[in-house]
Every structure is written in structure tokens, then in C-alpha cells.
Amino acid sequence: MKKLVCSTIVALGALATALPAMAQELTFWSWRQEDKAQYQKFISAFETKNPGITVKFETFEATNYNTILSTALAGGSGPDLMFTRTYGGMETIASGGYLLALDKTNVPALSTFTAPALASETMRSNKITYAVPFASQTMLVIYNKDIFDKNGLSEPQSWDDFIKASEKLKAAGVMPFANGTATAWQNEVVVGGLVSSIMGRGFYDDLMAGKADFTDKRYVGALTKLKEITKYFPDGFIGLDYASAQQLFSSGMAGMFVGGSYELANFKKQNPNMKMGIFAAPGLKAEDEKLVALYFDGGYAANAKGKNQEAAVKFLNFLASQEFGQMFANDLNNISAVPGVTFKEPLLGEVADLNKHSIPYLMLVHFRYGEPSGSVLLQSEIQKLLGGKATPEEVGKNLTTGLANWYAPFKK
């Protein structure tokens, strides 16, 4: 009997050793409902290599996501892993102590990411990174190649070229641009996408050094040119919303659309037969550096109080890997923040090339850390500018005065 008991114990011990540890289920929250199928594929790839861990991916409506997430974290019922916003959006939850601090000791691949990518998920006060950046977005001009070819147009090299191309399309009965401004955030997009080259790198550097504000003649001059070119927007564009503007472009009724690189995948889905090209809106002269406006769009973070932190960190390391970055680029047609990723979609490769000459998408990157938000101010002021209710000088002054409520360099 003694021998039987002993042999049974030995057998059970061997069986326990042979079996994987008890499975751990990680919850992973996101606002990207439209990407759920792709993320399930990414998760399957991770689970195959990590048989003791499963990941449950849950999505929420984008506009309510921040509130849902912060409420859950504050109540102690938040997920193990989560999508985070960037810049000011990330700081809101990181400052509450809800996110696990990350560095090259727990996520070694972070040491290979670019400084601007890491800055998007780093707390300014303590210089700690709290999320793995997942994508960059670029504000640029997308154009319909068939329409350009039919009208003998090429990518403009100067502002005069840009105006002439718009005039030629209008004369041919084609809407030069599809954009409208009824959807507030689109007002910010057209600034970044159309006049970054005109405001220039010098203005950006001086702004960050505290040597300039938005009353600077370079910024006011850029807004003057913005107002000038929006006469080539559709009739009634002030009341034209985002979805309708997208439809005008994807249906072939307009030659150009000012938007983010994220639009490329959207337009390809809406009209698979449309041939698209992209360019950085030019400066005043052909020799001026052509700049796009760039920002980083979200990250992946772990719950600082999660019960499965070891497994969560293992998944974050997967999300920081080149293997994942390549799948992200291939399946989501987006610019992964992971260094060394290549692009099978030629247009994404062109975006990556344009990104070599970029300045940050100003309000989102630098001026969403206080109230009033720079984005909210700009969106409202541009609506007034394009509606004829404010001058470029007044817009520059109102932006500077509003931001001076919390942005120290503007307090005089």
C-alpha cells in the first residue's frame, strides 16, 4: 500500500511538471472597434507561442473610451492591458498611478524606438514611459491619380503651382478639394495638412524655444494662405461634414483630400479601384522644405495593479517586437511605430519617406495638456476664419491668449 501511494505521488508530480502552468487570461481594451478582426489574428500569433496565456480583446466606442477606461481603473476593475491615447490623453490616466512604468529592463525593445515616439507616451513631469507606441499618423494631401493625369497635372512644387492646379481642376468642372469644416477636428487637419511647409521648421523651433507665439508673422502668413486656398473647397464647405467629404473624394468627384495617412486604408476600402497619390503641400517657393505634420497615435499599456503582470509584460514585449510591427503594417495598412518595419503597400512607403521631413502636428502634440485645449481653440478659430468672422491676425492672437491660461511661455 505504501509503495502504491509513493508511486502515485511521484506520477502526479511528474504530470504536474509536464503540464503548462495554469492558463492566465489577460483582458485587453481598445477603442478600435473596426480593427477587431486583425487584433484577433495578432493575438492568435502570440497565444501560439505562449500556450499558458490567453488574451481577451474587448472594444468600446471611441468617443466614450477614455471615460470608460478611467472609471474602470479608478474603481479597481480595469483591464490587464489597454490602448492609451498619447500626449495629454495618456497623462490623464498615468498621473493617477494606474499604468505600469516601462523601460528597457521590462520591455527591452523600447530602447530602439525613436525619441518622438517614446515622448508621446512619456510623462513630462517624471520622464517615465507608460506605453508602447503603436502608430504614427501624417497630415498630407491625398490625390486621385486618374483625375490628375486626365487634367495634365503633377504634384505641385510651389504654392503658385498648387493654386494653378486647383484652378485647372475647377475650370474642368472637378472639385479641387473634397474637404469640409462642419466636423470640428477636420479644421485642425487642414491646417496641418496644408500649411505646415509655409509656417516652416524655423517657426516651430522658435515656438518650442519660447521665442515665438501664434501671433508670429510666419504663422499668421500660413493662415492667410490657408484661407486663400479654401476657396477651392466645395460650395458650402462650412456645413460639409467629415463623412460627406470622404464620400466626395472616394466617389471621384474631387481631385484632392487633405487628411491623415489613416485615410489611405479607408479610401481603399470605399473605392478599391481608385488610384491614389500623396504629397506634402508645398511652401511658397519650390526650394522651400516640404513638410508634413506628424503625431503618434496611441500606445499599449499595462495595469499597474493588474493581477497578471508577468503575463501582461510578456504581451507588451510581443507588441513592441518587429514581428508584431510588421503584422500591424501589413494587416492594418498603417505606419507602425516599431523601427525597421517595411511596407508592402507602396503608398505607406511613400508616407514613411515624407515623414523624414516633418514637424509635429502642433496642437495635439504640444498643446493638449491644459484647459483650454489648443486643439479646441484652433478648431473653433479656424471655423471663424474660414467663415469670414475672424482675420488670421485675430486667430493668432486668440490662440496665444487662450493658451496663456496654462502655457507658461505665453504668459506675459
**What percentage of the chain's residues is helix, strand, coil (to nearest 5)?**
50, 15, 35
Q: What is the pLDDT of residues 182-204, one digit of tens each?
A: 999 999 999 999 999 999 999 99
Whether residue 265 is predicted with pLDDT greater than 70 in this model: the reply is: yes
Q: What is the pLDDT of residues 273-323, one digit of tens each?
A: 999 999 999 999 999 999 999 999 999 999 999 999 999 999 999 999 999
- Sorted by where each starts, the structural domains of the chain and their CATH numbers stand as 16-134+297-320 (3.40.190.10), 137-294+360-410 (3.40.190.10)
User: Where would I find the beta strands (DSSP E) of 261-310?
Assistant: 276-279, 292-296, 299-302
Whether residue 346 is predicted with pLDDT greater than 60 in this model: the reply is: yes
Q: Tell me what percent of the residues of the chain surpass a pLDDT of 70.
A: 95
Give the up-direction half-sphere exposure of residue 23: CA atoms within 13 A in the CB hemisphere. 8
Q: What is the pLDDT of residues 119-160, one digit of tens each?
A: 999 999 999 999 999 999 999 999 999 999 999 999 999 999
Per the prediction, the chain carries an average pLDDT of: 94
- Asked if 246 and 178 touch (Cβ cutoff 8 Å), the reply is yes
pLDDT band at 11 (very low <50, low <70, confident <90, very high): very low
pLDDT at residue 302, rounded to an integer: 98
How is residue 221 written as a grid cell? 502668413
How is residue 326 written as a grid cell? 510588421
Q: What is the pLDDT of residues 355-395, one digit of tens each?
A: 999 999 999 999 999 999 999 999 999 999 999 999 999 99
Closest CA to 90 of 120, 65, 110: 120
Q: What is residue 128's three-state secondary structure?
A: coil
Taking phi over 0 as left and psi of -120 to 50 as alpha, with beta for the rest, 87 belongs to: left
Q: What is residue 297's three-state secondary structure?
A: coil
Question: What b/e sequence results for 201-212 when a residue is b if at least 16 CB atoms lie within 10 Å of its CB, and e otherwise?
Answer: eebbeebeeeeb
Helices 346-354 and 263-270, axial angle in degrees (round to 10) = 160
Side chain identity, residue 326: Q
Side chain identity, residue 307: K
pLDDT band at 10 (very low <50, low <70, confident <90, very high): very low
pLDDT at residue 23, rounded to an integer: 81
pLDDT at residue 21, rounded to an integer: 53
Tell me the pairing of strands 81-84 and 24-30: parallel
Question: What b/e sequence results for 93-111 when a residue is b if at least 16 CB atoms lie within 10 Å of its CB, and e otherwise?
Answer: bbeeebbbbbeeebbebbe
